[in-house]
Chain A
Amino acid sequence: MATNKPYDNRAWLGVLPVLLIVAFSAVIPLMTVVNYSVQDILDFNSRFYVGLDWYRETLQDPRFIDAFGRQVLFSFSVLAIEIPLGILVARGLPKSGVWTSILLILLAVPLLIPWNVVGTIWQIYARSDIGLLGVGLNELGLAFNYTSNPTHAWLTLIAMDVWHWTSLVALLSFAGLTSVPPAYYQAAELDGASKWQVFRYVEMPRLGGVLVIAVLLRLMDSFMIYTEPFVLTGGGPGNATTFLSQYLATMAVGQFDLGPAAAFSVIYFLFILLFCWIFYNSVMSDDNEAQHHD
């Protein structure tokens, strides 16, 4: 934001509609959640205050801990694949021309497919009876079946998430790369820089900003993943692919355990905020150190 903007509190009038609509769709529900999280609700007429019991219970719930562990593992796995892969794809894109437009549109397509359809696409693609991937792998001699083998289910989920979201990283990185002036490449070439050095010293510094955004987005979105595993594996086999959102949805809508579900929600939300905050701060403090040299 520019620094020389005039100070005017009438500007609040401009943000008022946003404030009202977000208050309606965020503040009221969040207050409800917090309110439930400290009560035991047998039915809506008999409820009593239980303090932080539900929080304690949730944090000690082995199923919550398992789901949380799976969630962390999943998020870090997909980040570890999608971020480097997205950068490579972006570097491979031609800088201009007809192919650039075609490839950009192709890359954007997975982002615009309804999430459950993504699940459906991968379901019919990976099934061992009718899917191209499933049948193909079995033809190769691998006994692939993601509906019964937890490892296969995991791999399929990760492959699906990579298919679904690497484009986002690639589009962001491509935007970052197009901001590198051609003279930088020319200078590095004349300096005799290797391809790796060009990437490391010319492209990476320019990608910094967009990569922070990419990691943040992928971190929080992968942490909230619900629909795709719901369609593809239904959380199974067993609970092998049950992540936090699924567990929460089962608790809240399936079993109507309002108190525990609310406590779970608050913890869940705080965890995402915490993750993003830690990541954002670690990146920004690096930046500050760099500026501190003078």
Chain B
Amino acid sequence: MTSVSRWVLVFYCIYLLLPLYWLMTMALRSNSDITGKFEVIPSNPTLVNFAEIFSNPIWYQAFGNSLSYVILNTLISICVALPAAYVFSRYRFLGDRQLFFWLLTNRMAPPAVFLLPFFQLYSSIGLFDTPLAVALAHCLFTVPLSVWILEGFMSGVPSEVDEMAKIDGHSFPYFFFRVFIPINRGAIGVTLFFCFMFSWVELLLARTLTGSTTKPIVVVMTRTVSASGLDWGVLAAAGALTVVPGIIVVWFVRKHLVKGFALGRV
């Protein structure tokens, strides 16, 4: 059985890597080369596709737009989720369980359900076509998730830590920001990972709530396919570039990742 699992792992990794490899080879070939002949190993690797992306403002602005709402969303989520997770992990209060589960049901809502009301809501208050609109819309999913993950980690921190700080005469803000948050660095890292994971990869809401000025990268990619037709090389290069932020994030949280998953809180 163990050897079976090992083989499964090996084949799965190959299965995982092949499409990524293909993406890379496509990104390194010009469009005429791609449509001209089929090659498993590119014979004329070129960086023209990447050059196109870095020289064309539509592409790099789209990258910027995406990152701006992702970062905004992550910041909002962490900031509101930290105090909530803290009180959930430390106190009982009227309706605490009901509130906790209600928060989680939001994670189950299909984004498609919210398309129309979001569109109308943000249009009416003038947020349409701003990064803030997308960031707030994504909060619907990332905030409950953040509260859930952080609460799991914080419950594991003994409440003696709180009492020690109180006995040492520290004020609550001092304790919370200088003691408690540093203790939960790992938790915050994992939370960042999941906020990022949701906000960076989501397309439907991001597409609906942005117009011409804040088009995110995910949208620019889909529009390129339909409009300018089929520049496969540029598309592949852009796709390859969108993988990079994810790898950077996972690199930073790699040590905490398994523990985050171990809590069963994702």
Report which A residues bind B (CB closer than 8 A): 1-2, 5-15, 17-19, 21-22, 24-26, 28-30, 32-33, 36, 85, 88-89, 91-93, 101, 103-117, 120-122, 124-125, 129-133, 135, 163, 166-168, 170-172, 174-176, 178-179, 195-196, 198-199, 209-210, 212-213, 217, 220, 223-224, 226-227, 230-231, 244-245, 248-249, 252-253, 258, 261-262, 265-266, 268-269, 272-273, 276
Contact = CB atoms under 8 A, between A and B. Distances in A.
Chain B: interface size category = 35 or more
Interface in B229-266: 232, 235-236, 239, 242-243, 245-247, 249-251, 254, 257-266
A112 B252 CA distance: 13
18 contacts: A7-B91, A17-B84, A26-B114, A88-B8, A89-B5, A105-B254, A124-B26, A124-B235, A130-B26, A130-B34, A131-B22, A135-B38, A220-B107, A245-B204, A253-B116, A266-B113, A269-B113, A276-B108
A11 B96 contact: yes
A273 B105 contact: yes
A21 B79 CA distance: 11
B145 to A, nearest CB: 11
Interface of B: 1-2, 4-10, 12-13, 15-23, 26, 34-35, 38, 40, 76, 79-81, 83-84, 86-94, 96, 99, 103, 105-121, 136-137, 139-140, 143-144, 147, 151, 155, 159, 196-197, 200-204, 208, 217-218, 221-222, 225, 232, 235-236, 239, 242-243, 245-247, 249-251, 254, 257-266
Contact of B10 (A1, A92, A107): A92
Main secondary structure of the interface of A (DSSP, over half): helix
B106 A120 contact: no
A9 B92 CA distance: 8
Given A22-B139, A29-B118, A33-B117, A114 B200 contact: yes
A224 to B, nearest CB: 4
Contacts of B108: 220, 269, 272-273, 276
A113 B257 contact: no
A251 to B, nearest CB: 9
Contact of A7 (B12, B92, B106, B202): B92
Main secondary structure of the interface of B (DSSP, over half): helix
Contact of B117 (A30, A175, A249): A30
B18 A171 contact: no
Contacts of A113: 201, 239, 242-243, 246
Given A9-B94, A107-B16, A210-B264, A253 B115 contact: yes
A92 B109 contact: no
Contacts of B143: 18, 21-22
A284 B119 CA distance: 39
A204 to B, nearest CB: 12
B116 A261 contact: yes
A112 B88 contact: no
Contacts of A14: 83-84, 86-88
Contacts of A120: 221, 225, 235-236, 239
A171 B2 contact: no
B154 to A, nearest CB: 10
A112 B203 contact: no
Interface centre among B6, B203, B217 (most CB of A within 10 A): B203
B262 A179 contact: yes
Contacts of B202: 114-115, 227
Given A92-B5, A121-B20, A109 B250 contact: yes
A19 to B, nearest CB: 8
A21 B80 contact: yes
B1 A195 contact: yes
Contacts of A6: 90-92
A249 B258 contact: no
Contacts of B239: 113, 117, 120-121
Nearest to A168: B266
Nearest to B102: A22
B22 A217 contact: no
B266 to A, nearest CB: 6
Contacts of A124: 22-23, 26, 232, 235-236
A269 to B, nearest CB: 5
